[in-house]
Amino acid sequence: MLGEPPVIDKKETRKRVERILDNYRLYLLQVPDDMLPKITAGFSIVPPSVTNAFHSSTESTAMKRIEWEQKRNAYLERVQKAVNRLPAYERQIIIKRYMQQEPVFDYQVYNE
């Protein structure tokens, strides 16, 4: 009734999982410097338009940063939930290798 389980390409799956865990580490350590508000005055030859719409670079930067943080936190939470579903031994290896602040090499995790 259930049929055969799907065939999984182990090499491709491993590459994708390692890419996801590397992205996890990058997102964990990343602070978006390009999303900081401008603190210097900007001058333009073009006069401002009269649309009664208030536009502030600080507000738009804050909105972008909030949206980015929400996406980042959702990604990190999704990866953490997936890792928590693994057996204890596998979870321990992945946490030591990919989810710590300081970088650890494969051989160091293997030796432990």
Question: Can you give the residue range of the structural domain that contains 101?
Answer: 12-30+56-111
Mean pLDDT of 57-81: 85
Q: What is the radius of gyration, based on Cα positions, of the chain?
A: 22
- Is residue 10 pLDDT above 70, yes or no? yes
Percent of the chain with pLDDT strictly greater than 90: 11
Inside any domain, residue 71:
yes
Give CA 34 to chain center in angstroms.
16
Inside any domain, residue 35:
no
Mean pLDDT of 43-55: 63
Number of domains in the chain: 1
Mean pLDDT of 93-106: 78
- Locus of tokens 């051989």: 107
Contact in structure between 95 and 83 (CB atoms under 8 Å): yes
Would the pTM count as exceeding 0.75?
A: no
Inside any domain, residue 18:
yes
Mean pLDDT of the chain: 78
Inside any domain, residue 99:
yes
